[in-house]
Amino acid sequence: MMNFHPFEDANGDKLREECGVFGAIGAADSAAVTALGLHALQHRGQEAAGICSYDGEHFFNRRGLGHVAENFSTQEALAELPGNMASGHVRYSTTGGAGLRNVQPLYADLAAGGFAISHNGNISNSQALRDELVSKGAIFQSTSDTEVIIHLVATSRYPTTADRLIDALRMIEGAYSLIVMTPEGMIACRDPLGIRPLQMGKLGDAIVFASETVAFDVVGAEFIRQVQPGEIVKVGFDGKIESLHPFGNHKARPCIFEHVYFSRPDSIFDGRSVYEARKAIGAQLAIENPVDADLVVPVPDSGVPAAIGYAQQSGVPFELGIIRSHYVGRTFIQPGDGARHSSVKRKHNANRFLVEGKRIVLIDDSIVRGTTSLKIVEMMRDAGAIEVHFRVASPPTAHSCFYGVDTPERSKLLAARMDIEPMREFIKADSLAFVSIDGLYRAVGEAPRNNGCPQFCDACFTGDYPTSLTDLENREAHEAQLSFPVNKVA
């Protein structure tokens, strides 16, 4: 079950993880293994996919727009990617926008040899670094923030590729999980706070890395452990593994939205089953926000585990009050604006026999712009529901993410513009409630947030960003300067 939200509309009314990464070294069919691993991570990025391989002498890079299956499902495509080391990437676009030139892995010929990089995350000072590099003569081939890392590595004066990468990363703020390929082997690393996930596994004699453990299940690999926050893992072609911790000790702040929505439910994140965590969030939601109702109905597919937990805790029966069609893709032809609403019904339909005359509790993972929630509530009412109560398995999303999540600007987030009651009126529900931030922490096995330092990055809910946001601060300062009245001297 993927986490693609089938009600996502043309305005992107859903938070989306920017991308997923996979790498394999020591596998005879490394490109095929990588393609299969990326297919398991397709929910993390459905805009483009790429794979780069190395045969001991040459690097080979193939990238394309669309899904993994559209680009890497044939033997002919995989034959273009020989070698026993490969890495790949699936993406949505945030920083840099869409276009083939931004599809990863990005590759460059450096003085020390080939360098291919796959990046999950977002560099929050990339524009400042880019401006400085360009002023010194750097020429960029893409608009991706990831290319900044390549230029920083290229200009570092350290002797080895690993040391040059570490030198580059010391200048970077924000979030990153990286898989890097060089002629010496593979390097996997994670930012010092561990905001974005990265896992390590073993497939026979090969070492594999992936954004989620579900990719290991699909390729038949054994999960070893997660790459630790701030850790650099070097894997040579002889199978030797070296672990470095060059950034000191930092309190980890992994993204809590991996538990809420991003990761597939059959993954393990931060040592816990994502499926069980979502059920626990739903149970906590029922404890905090009970309601007299006849049915608990999930918004497919992302609301299902939380709805099961809500139903089990509340005693209100769980039912599939919305049925999803699995034969309508995201690219279904839209004849015009007048067909937008009917496209929702092509993907989903209310189960009228169950819903009619009932009091319904709808469970979803989040509310972003609110337009999707409005459509779902209207669907239930059109099917004859006499009451529609909306319950959300996360706190209100009131702040933008700058760490690799495709978030609308803050002015377009419903919770940034409205309190709960106006939000309820906007989506036309009979009641609206969210799980509390402390309840969310309890559900995923941590102490309440206010009892000490937060265990996660929860900035999209709290506005507590764990790193500096240089580019944002520079942009806001520039905008303030432009808007400030200037008194001209006669």
Report whether 2 contacts 43 (CB < 8 A): yes
What's the chain's average pLDDT? 90
Give the length of the chain.
490
Start-end of H helices in 323-429: 340-347, 352-355, 371-382, 414-417, 420-427
> How far apart are the C-alpha atoms of 264 and 214, rounded to whole Å?
7
Q: Which domains does the chain have, with CATH numbers?
A: 16-253 (3.60.20.10), 274-325+342-462 (3.40.50.2020)
Residue 300: partners with Cβ closer than 8 Å, 6 or more residues away: 6, 320, 322, 323, 324, 348
pLDDT digits (tens, 9 = 90+) for 204-263: 999 999 999 999 999 999 999 999 999 999 999 999 999 999 998 889 999 999 999 999
pTM above 0.85, yes or no: yes
**Residue the block writes with tokens 């019904």:** 345
Which residue would you say has higher pLDDT here, 2 or 374? 374
Report whether 105 contacts 116 (CB < 8 A): yes
Report whether 152 contacts 434 (CB < 8 A): no
pLDDT digits (tens, 9 = 90+) for 103-149: 999 999 999 899 999 999 999 999 999 999 999 999 999 999 999 99
Q: Catalytic pick from 19, 189, 401, 460?
A: 19
- Known catalytic residue: 19? yes
Report whether 324 contacts 264 (CB < 8 A): no
Cα-Cα end-to-end distance for the chain: 69
Q: How far is CA 160 from the centre of its chain?
A: 31
> How far apart are the C-alpha atoms of 203 and 186, rounded to whole Å?
15
For the chain, what is the largest distance between any 2 Cα atoms, rounded to a whole number of angstroms?
79
Q: Quickly list DSSP for 187-241.
A: EEEE-TT--S--EEEEETTEEEEESSTHHHHHHTPEEEEEPPTT-EEEEETT--E
